Amino acid sequence: MFTDKEYLLKLVQAKMPFGKYKGYFLIDLPERYLIWFSQKGFKNDSLGIMLKSVYEIKLNGLEYLLKPFRKQ
């Protein structure tokens, strides 16, 4: 499993693999798109878990925690 630091680094590097926002970094996805995914239900795979994490980070206004990792 990842440490918190490793997971956050992986989270900021992950890109959306499909759909309208294909190629976007997950952390750059619009909040409305993440809300839509939330309403549909996040899958229990690695992408779903990362999308849920980004959703929770944005929902709680914690984007500032990811700024140091974006620079790496």
Render pLDDT for 11-27 as a digit per residue (tens, 0 to 9).
999 999 999 999 999 99
Distance, C-alpha 41 to centroid of its chain: 15
pLDDT at 1 over 60: no
pLDDT at 63 over 70: yes
pLDDT at 5 over 90: no
52, with CB counted inside 10 A (0-12, 13-18, 19+), is: middle
**21-30, 33-42, 52-61, 62-71: segment of lowest average pLDDT:** 62-71
pLDDT of residue 45: 95
